[in-house]
Amino acid sequence: MNQPKPYVAGNWKMHLTREQAFELALGVGMLADRFSGVDLAVFPGFLVLGEIARGTAGSDMIVGAQNCHFLEEGAATGEVSPKQLYDVGVRSVLIGHSERRTFAHEDNELLSKKVLAAIQQGLDVIFCVGESSDQREAGETAAVVTAQLEVLSELPESKRVHVDIAYEPIWAIGTGQVATPEQAAETHLAIRTWLDGAGGFEGTRVL
């Protein structure tokens, strides 16, 4: 089996003006064309997604969204559907980021709906997992992360090829702390073990 391409993705969160975001995206797009052996993806804010997707359409860069709703359309004020994202040129979406889990109270049931809806509309998914500092100190990292992955067990096996996993410990987000290579490798092994046991995730990359 061929090894999947390395994947480098940047979540821009709620940063950058329209002009700054477009300029940065153009630069990343040029890098994507130079390094064809690596998948490069950017996840800007909603307001600039369409413009960036159109402006970099000739490059190999992947344009992704930071979130989506599970409905194709309807009464969901303030939300954006996977169908709308795909229509403006978005091809990937982050689902399950810890900030969404915490601030928007997104639970496994909701995340499961989002993952399936995104894939059905043609988007690839980066599914995010990670543990808190208390959970790491209690030795619960593997258990927490694999429990989060259970969302994907409901995904039909034919759809699993469209999922990659991003591990980012919650305690390292915006704190200046960084997981050591050993800590990251240990958690990646737990993730890979779960994926191998679930089946259908042979090509899934763990970021």
Q: Which two tokens stand for residue 143?
A: 């258990």
- Of these residues, 15, 23, 51, 97, which one is catalytic? 97
Q: Is 168 a catalytic residue?
A: yes
Positive or negative torsion for Cα 158, 74, 21, 86: positive
Q: Which two tokens stand for residue 65?
A: 């969204």
Which of 23, 73, 109, 168 is an active site residue? 168
Q: Which residues pair with 163 in a beta bridge?
A: 125
Q: How would you classify residue 96: left for phi > 0, otherwise alpha for psi between -120 and 50, otherwise beta?
A: left
Q: Where are the beta strands (DSSP E) in 12-167?
A: 39-43, 62-65, 92-95, 124-129, 163-167
The question of whether 97 is a catalytic residue gets the answer yes
Q: Which residues are catalytic?
A: 97, 168
